[in-house]
Amino acid sequence: MADNESGKPESGELFGIPYNFEEPSIGRLLSSHWQPDEGMFVEQPFGVGYTLNLANWRSWVVAAVALGLWWQESQQGGDEMDEEEPVEVIVDDD
Protein backbone atom coordinates (compact mmCIF):
# COMPACT_ATOMS: atom_id res chain seq x y z
CA MET A 1 0.00 0.00 0.00
CA ALA A 2 1.61 3.24 -1.16
CA ASP A 3 1.18 6.41 0.87
CA ASN A 4 1.24 9.96 -0.49
CA GLU A 5 2.67 13.03 1.27
CA SER A 6 -0.41 13.45 3.47
CA GLY A 7 -0.09 9.87 4.74
CA LYS A 8 -3.27 8.67 3.02
CA PRO A 9 -2.98 5.40 1.08
CA GLU A 10 -3.04 5.76 -2.71
CA SER A 11 -4.04 2.13 -3.32
CA GLY A 12 -5.84 -0.58 -1.42
CA GLU A 13 -9.36 -1.90 -0.90
CA LEU A 14 -12.49 -0.33 0.51
CA PHE A 15 -15.38 -2.70 1.29
CA GLY A 16 -13.72 -5.31 -0.94
CA ILE A 17 -13.49 -2.99 -3.97
CA PRO A 18 -9.97 -2.14 -5.11
CA TYR A 19 -8.78 1.39 -5.74
CA ASN A 20 -5.53 2.81 -7.05
CA PHE A 21 -4.77 6.51 -7.41
CA GLU A 22 -1.02 6.16 -8.00
CA GLU A 23 0.21 7.91 -11.16
CA PRO A 24 -0.24 5.29 -13.91
CA SER A 25 2.57 4.32 -16.26
CA ILE A 26 2.05 3.13 -19.84
CA GLY A 27 3.39 -0.30 -18.93
CA ARG A 28 0.98 -0.66 -16.01
CA LEU A 29 -1.95 0.52 -18.15
CA LEU A 30 -1.21 -2.02 -20.88
CA SER A 31 -0.32 -4.95 -18.62
CA SER A 32 -3.39 -4.52 -16.44
CA HIS A 33 -5.71 -5.33 -19.36
CA TRP A 34 -3.76 -8.45 -20.41
CA GLN A 35 -3.32 -10.96 -17.58
CA PRO A 36 -3.54 -14.52 -18.99
CA ASP A 37 -3.52 -16.24 -15.59
CA GLU A 38 -6.39 -14.17 -14.14
CA GLY A 39 -10.18 -14.31 -14.54
CA MET A 40 -12.49 -12.16 -16.63
CA PHE A 41 -12.19 -9.09 -14.39
CA VAL A 42 -8.96 -7.54 -13.09
CA GLU A 43 -8.24 -4.49 -10.95
CA GLN A 44 -8.24 -1.21 -12.83
CA PRO A 45 -4.79 0.34 -13.32
CA PHE A 46 -6.14 3.72 -12.17
CA GLY A 47 -9.36 4.53 -10.36
CA VAL A 48 -11.90 2.40 -8.54
CA GLY A 49 -13.18 -1.07 -9.36
CA TYR A 50 -12.49 -3.65 -12.02
CA THR A 51 -12.00 -3.78 -15.78
CA LEU A 52 -12.12 -6.50 -18.43
CA ASN A 53 -9.13 -8.80 -18.80
CA LEU A 54 -8.63 -8.99 -22.58
CA ALA A 55 -6.58 -12.18 -22.21
CA ASN A 56 -9.77 -14.01 -21.18
CA TRP A 57 -12.12 -15.11 -23.98
CA ARG A 58 -15.21 -14.29 -21.89
CA SER A 59 -14.22 -10.61 -21.92
CA TRP A 60 -14.33 -10.62 -25.73
CA VAL A 61 -17.86 -12.12 -25.62
CA VAL A 62 -18.98 -9.37 -23.22
CA ALA A 63 -17.36 -6.70 -25.42
CA ALA A 64 -18.98 -8.14 -28.58
CA VAL A 65 -22.44 -8.22 -26.96
CA ALA A 66 -22.03 -4.64 -25.69
CA LEU A 67 -20.87 -3.48 -29.13
CA GLY A 68 -23.79 -5.30 -30.79
CA LEU A 69 -26.32 -3.68 -28.44
CA TRP A 70 -24.76 -0.25 -29.00
CA TRP A 71 -24.84 -0.74 -32.78
CA GLN A 72 -28.47 -1.92 -32.69
CA GLU A 73 -29.45 1.12 -30.61
CA SER A 74 -27.64 3.49 -32.97
CA GLN A 75 -29.41 1.97 -35.99
CA GLN A 76 -32.85 2.47 -34.45
CA GLY A 77 -32.24 6.17 -33.91
CA GLY A 78 -33.66 8.37 -31.21
CA ASP A 79 -36.79 9.41 -33.14
CA GLU A 80 -38.95 6.46 -32.05
CA MET A 81 -40.59 8.39 -29.24
CA ASP A 82 -41.54 11.22 -31.61
CA GLU A 83 -43.27 8.84 -34.06
CA GLU A 84 -45.65 7.28 -31.53
CA GLU A 85 -49.29 8.32 -31.48
CA PRO A 86 -50.59 10.08 -28.36
CA VAL A 87 -52.59 7.91 -25.94
CA GLU A 88 -55.88 9.05 -24.44
CA VAL A 89 -56.51 7.91 -20.87
CA ILE A 90 -60.05 7.92 -19.51
CA VAL A 91 -60.54 7.62 -15.75
CA ASP A 92 -63.97 6.59 -14.52
CA ASP A 93 -64.73 7.82 -10.97
CA ASP A 94 -67.75 5.53 -10.40
Q: What is the model's pLDDT at position 63?
A: 94
Q: What one-character DSSP code corresponds to residue 50? A: E
* Model pTM score: 0.59
Mean pLDDT, range 47-57, rounded to an integer: 92
Mean of all residue pLDDT scores within the chain = 85
Q: What is the pLDDT of residue 82?
A: 56
- What is the distance between the alpha carbons of residues 56 and 46, in angstroms, rounded to a whole number? 20
Alpha-carbon distance of 40 to 75, in angstroms, equals 29
CA-nearest of 18, 17, 16, 56 to 40 is 56
Confidence of residue 50 (pLDDT cuts 50, 70, 90): very high
